[in-house]
Structure 1
Amino acid sequence: MDPSAAPRHRRNRRDWLVDSAMFVLAVAFTLLTSADRLDTAPLPPAWLFPFDQFAGALACAALWLRRRWPVGLAVTLVALSAVFEMVAGPMLAALFSVGVHRRPRTSGTVFALSVLAAAVFTYLRPDPDLPPLAMLMLGLALQGAAVGWGLFVHHRRRLVLAQRDRAARMETEARLRAEQVQHQVREAIAREIHDVLGHRLSLLSVHAGALEFNPGADPADVARAARVIRESAHQALQDLREVIGVLRAPTGEPSAPTRPGLPTLADLRKLVAESGQAGMPVELCDDLGARETVPDRTGHTAYRVVQEALTNARKYAPGAGVQLRLAGAPGEGLTVEVVNDVPAAVASDAAGGGHGLAGLAERVTLAGGRLEHGPVRRDGDGGPGGWRVRAWLPWPA
């Protein structure tokens, strides 16, 4: 439905001013026409002139209803204009109202009726001092000007409404984009915190468990384990502050950590050494070529894959051996594979957690890679023999 077609029953100050101006103009047009006919001679038949003036007064008064019933009023005045000359002024105002408040198709229909009424008036009451064709063309010019002016205002209002709607949509889209960015930042922070704290807390758990199950250990070993726990807790806080500081930086993509401060492939050996100190033997097979050309984002994602895999192995298969393999080359991609030896029951439990692996899969996907994980089989009997996490990440040439 055309929004401008909705009836308006209450006028504001601007409406009162416009309606008053339209009424005054219609009255002035009617009075000038009446005065002109009194100075010369009324159109034949002369006896119709008093009724003509009365119809013009009623038509002027009826203009106060033009906002409520614009089409009905215009059609009525158009019909009266076929007989009464003094209705011309109010009829022009009614044509303007239809052009403003109704669709162009409706305005065109009413204008066509006004053309027919003008032709009928020219035939019924010809002006002795003016040729019929000139009289008809003058009426059509005035009626066309009124309808054209109304259509101009109508389209201008629609344009303003369209611009307001467009501005509102743009504001809504901007708000949605801001909310989406905030959501991405929260997800990035959640992933980083999960990876950092999960790894550090698993190390703390291993050393604290060793102290709990061996209360009679040598004081030197207890002191060494306590020192490792303290250093791990301190490092966890440092890593957490570093992650939050990087992700709160005002530049760059929060989902694509490429700025200095986040770990990359260069920090993998330190990660492997920490796992070895916690009692997890890790065998590293590094077949990478041109390591220095690995993008920071790819290196960071690979680091998080290894970190999450080692954390899960330490949680679900404490003491089991782990094989870490890095392979790839520029243009071929980077492959990271972590396999741990674990009994079948433990592998099933590991598959049941899923929260860390789900977040890891999302991280790898955002980096443009693929992640696979699941149990591996022993050679010979075909039974479950461990758990494997394998990721492929893009490495441009």
Structure 2
Amino acid sequence: MSSAVAPDHPWLLPGSLVPARSARRTPRDWFVDGLLFLISLGWVLIAHEDAVSGSPDFALNAGPDWLIGVDLIAGLLATGGLWLRRRWPVGLAVATAPLTLFSITAGVVLLVVLFTVLVHRPLPIGLALVGWNVVTALPYETLRPSPALPPWAAVAWTALFIGVAVAWALFVRARRQLVVSLRDRAERAEAEQQLRLDQARRLERGRIAREMHDVLAHRISLLSLHAGALEFRPDAPPEEVARAAGVIRASAHAALQDLREVIGVLRTEVRAEATPERPQPTLGDVPALVAESRDAGVRVSVVDEVTEPDAVPVAIGRSAYRIVQEGLTNARKHAPGAVVTVRLSGAPGDGLAVEISNPWPVGGPVTSIPGTGTGLVGVAERVTLAGGRLDHGRDSDGNFRLTAWLPWTIPS
């Protein structure tokens, strides 16, 4: 019989179990119900036969003659009602409650109904039914006294049978509650684990998307710079026009590829069998980044004072690369034509310092290239997560300066 915690029933106490009313009987349920029906039917026939025969060996007296036929009918009806105990246990208990006053043949049914109510209904209802069975034992002995036992002994035997049924029912109830609790904990732990996995996937997709956003912004700024050069130099030599067009085509192709990767990351789940992520840039890729900007016409001066550059941790080198990339992109957006100075310095134990500076443009920053305005916010987040510091703004010399310090610990 399937049972479940039923919080949607306000009349149930916490932890009470309720039969699934809409669930069909399983083969096991049919077997148990059929077996109980046959046992009860057999008891009805045996008890009625002994009552009719008036055997002195029978423990319970038959009582008045008119009661024998009534008891047989009551026992048969109660036995048929056993098929309803799964759906309406309390209703069946109420319907069979008067039988505790006089019926011998319904004894098996009364114990089964008591067991069912104790297992599947709130304890107050089950204990009330237990009390009713105990209280009616004395009137029963008055109506149908035992020829072999004194009244107190007969009542004691009745209480013993009821006590065994109650103990068994409470044991089954506790065991089912434990099983339901363990199943609920397992399902909750599985749901929490799935939630953590989903959160990790979202964080990973967000991280990859931010990485690709930085790359995409850098490529689009190069694309805009070359297109602007062609616009202002329509009389340029064919060789320069062809070279600029080639750079524009390559940058546009790379930007589309990056955009496709960003959209793919945001739309799909990150699977273990998916194509591995392409290698991310490190500090050693900064010269290539500077050369790309120089090819686009940006005047970049680089001062590299990093000792043991090969020993820079991969994560710190990637963060430094992104900082330089964002600084060059901002310079192309807001100060076109200005000389950009990139300074890298640091050593193991001292940290890695990154500085990008350019003269403040006359008349204020130029914003001909559109942007999201979140580039520096992303860089600040990256530096903070790495345990470093970031500062940007106009310095005392009138230059715009972007400085960052990243921790570079000595390997143990």
TM-score range, shorter chain: 0.7 to 0.9
Q: Which residue of 1 aligns with 2:149?
A: 130
Report Cα offsets for 1:189-226 as digits up to 9, x if no partner: 32233222322332233233223312333455445545
Q: Which residue of 2 aligns with 1:393?
A: 406
CA RMSD of aligned residues (A): 4.3
Q: Which residue of 2 aligns with 1:84?
A: 103
Partners of 2:63 and 2:170 in 1: CA distance: 36
2:358–2:399 contact (8 Å) kept in structure 1? yes
1:74, distance to aligned residue in structure 2 (A): 2.3
2:205–2:270 contact (8 Å) kept in structure 1? no
Partners of 2:242 and 2:403 in 1: CA distance: 38
SS of the residue 1:85 aligns to: coil
Q: Which residue of 2 aligns with 1:276?
A: 294
1:306, distance to aligned residue in structure 2 (A): 1.0
Larger mean CA deviation between 268-277 and 233-242 belongs to: 233-242
1:320–1:340 contact (8 Å) kept in structure 2? yes
Q: Which residue of 2 aligns with 1:26?
A: 40
1:99–1:149 contact (8 Å) kept in structure 2? no
1:9–1:68 contact (8 Å) kept in structure 2? no
Cα 1:25–1:269 shift into 2, 3 Å = same
Cα 1:102–1:394 shift into 2, 3 Å = farther
Map 1:257-276; keep pairs closer than 5 Å. Answer: 261-276=279-294
1:268, distance to aligned residue in structure 2 (A): 1.6
Cα 1:155–1:205 shift into 2, 3 Å = same
1:99–1:148 contact (8 Å) kept in structure 2? no
1:96, distance to aligned residue in structure 2 (A): 1.9
1:104–1:151 contact (8 Å) kept in structure 2? no
Partners of 2:247 and 2:177 in 1: CA distance: 72
SS of the residue 1:198 aligns to: helix
Cα 1:263–1:276 shift into 2, 3 Å = same
Q: Number of residues paired by the alignment?
A: 386
1:326–1:335 contact (8 Å) kept in structure 2? yes
1:12, distance to aligned residue in structure 2 (A): 4.0
Letter in 1 for 2:285: D
Q: Is 2:103 aligned against 1:100?
A: no
Cα 1:388–1:79 shift into 2, 3 Å = farther
Unaligned residue ranges in structure 1 (runs of 5+) = 380-384
Unaligned residue ranges in structure 2 (runs of 5+) = 1-6
SS of the residue 1:5 aligns to: strand
Q: Which residue of 2 aligns with 1:118?
A: 137
Partners of 1:9 and 1:203 in 2: CA distance: 67
2:223–2:252 contact (8 Å) kept in structure 1? yes
Q: Which residue of 1 aligns with 2:199?
A: 180
1:145, distance to aligned residue in structure 2 (A): 3.4
Partners of 2:258 and 2:162 in 1: CA distance: 80
1:301, distance to aligned residue in structure 2 (A): 1.6
1:84, distance to aligned residue in structure 2 (A): 3.3
SS of the residue 2:49 aligns to: helix
Q: Which residue of 2 aligns with 1:382?
A: none
1:118–1:139 contact (8 Å) kept in structure 2? yes
Cα 1:327–1:148 shift into 2, 3 Å = farther
Larger mean CA deviation between 300-309 and 32-41 belongs to: 32-41
Report Cα offsets for 1:2-51 as digits up to 9, x if no partner: 57436737854655554443333222223223333434245275456424
Cα 1:352–1:210 shift into 2, 3 Å = closer
SS of the residue 1:84 aligns to: coil
Letter in 1 for 2:231: E
Q: Is 2:358 aligned against 1:340?
A: yes
Partners of 1:204 and 1:169 in 2: CA distance: 51
Tell me the percent identity.
48
Partners of 1:273 and 1:54 in 2: CA distance: 103
Cα 1:229–1:7 shift into 2, 3 Å = closer
Partners of 1:211 and 1:9 in 2: CA distance: 75
Q: TM-score, normalised by structure 1?
A: 0.76
Q: Is 2:49 aligned against 1:35?
A: yes
